[in-house]
Amino acid sequence: MQLPSAFIHSLQGLTGFDEEAFVDIHNAAVPVTSVRLNPIKIDETARVITGAGVKKSPVPWCANGYYLSRRPSFTFDPLFHAGCYYVQEASSMFLEQALMQTTELSNDLKILDLCAAPGGKSTHIQSLLSNQSVLVSNEIIKARAGILRDNIVKWGGANVVVTNNDPRDFERLPGFFDVIVVDAPCSGSGLFRRDEMAVEEWSEQAVTLCSQRQQRILADVLPALREEGILIYSTCSYSQQEDEVILEWLIASFDLESVPLKLQPEWNITEVSAASGSGYRFWPYRVKGEGFFMSVFRKKNATGNPEKYRPKTKALPAREAAALGRWMDISDRRFVSFGDKIYSWPAVNFEVFDFLAQRLKVIYSGVLTGALVRDKLIPDHALAMSRILNEAVVTKTALSLEQAVCYLQRKDFSVDNAGKGWQLAGFDGFPLGWMNVLPNRINNYYPKELRILKERIPDWS
Ligand X SMILES: C[S@@+](CC[C@H](N)C(=O)[O-])C[C@H]1O[C@@H](n2cnc3c(N)ncnc32)[C@H](O)[C@@H]1O
> Is 166 annotated as ligand-binding?
yes
* Residue 119 marked ligand-binding: yes
DSSP 224-244: GEEEEEEEEEEES---GGGTH
144 binds ligand X (CB under 6 A): yes
**By CB under 6 A, is residue 157 in contact with ligand X?**
no
Number of residues that bind ligand X (CB under 6 A): 17
116 annotated as a binding-site residue: yes
118 carries a ligand binding annotation? yes
Tell me the C-alpha to C-alpha distance, in Å, between residue 60 and each of 91, 93, 122, 279: 10, 10, 20, 19
Q: How many angstroms separate the CA atoms of 2 and 200, rounded?
A: 9
Q: Which stretch binds ligand X (CB under 6 A): 50-58, 73-81, 115-123, 353-361?
A: 115-123
Is 236 among the residues known to form the active site? yes
Polymer length of the chain = 461
Q: For ligand X, which residue of 213, 286, 387, 410 counts as binding (CB under 6 A)? A: 213
Contacts of 163 (CB under 8 A, 6+ apart): 136, 137, 138, 139, 145, 356, 360, 361, 362, 363
The distance of closest approach from Cβ of residue 228 to ligand X in the complex, given in angstroms and rounded to an integer, is 24
Among 150, 169, 178, 183, binds ligand X (CB under 6 A): 183
Coil, strand or helix at 16: coil
What are residue 227's phi and psi, to 5 degrees?
Answer: -60, 135
Q: Does 140 bind ligand X (CB under 6 A)?
A: yes
Nearest alpha carbon to residue 355 among 392, 308, 395, 387: 308
Residue 284 binds to ligand X (criterion: CB under 6 A): no
Among 115, 225, 328, 452, binds ligand X (CB under 6 A): 115
Collapsed DSSP state (helix, strand, coil) of residue 248: helix
State the catalytic residue, choosing from 84, 186, 210, 236. 236
In the complex, what is the shortest distance from the CB of residue 101 to ligand X, in angstroms, rounded to a whole number? Answer: 19
Tell me if 120 contacts ligand X by CB under 6 A: yes
115 is in an annotated binding site: yes
Q: What angle, 0 to 180 degrees and rounded to 10, lies between the N-to-C axes of helices 142-155 and 120-128? A: 40
What would the x/- binding string for ligand X be over residues 35 to 74, using CB under 6 A? ----------------------------------------
Q: Which of 83, 119, 379, 433 binds ligand X (CB under 6 A)?
A: 119
Judged by CB under 6 A, the stretch of 110-118, 247-255, 330-338, 428-436 that binds ligand X is 110-118
What CA–CA distance (Å, rounded) separates 81 from 67? 19
Using the rule CB under 6 A, is 217 a contact of ligand X? yes
Is position 120 annotated in a ligand binding site? yes
**What sign results for the dihedral spanned by CA atoms 147, 150, 154, 159?**
positive
Sign of CA dihedral 437, 367, 65, 293: positive
Which of 4/118 has CB closer to ligand X? 118
Classify residue 142 by its DSSP letter: H
**With respect to ligand X, which residue has the nearer C-beta, 99 or 115?**
115
CB of 221 within 8 A of CB of 114? yes
Q: What residues form the annotated binding site for S-adenosyl-L-methionine?
A: 115-121, 139, 166, 183
Q: Which residues are catalytic?
A: 236
Contacts with ligand X by CB under 6 A lie at 92, 115-121, 139-141, 144, 167, 183, 185, 213, 217
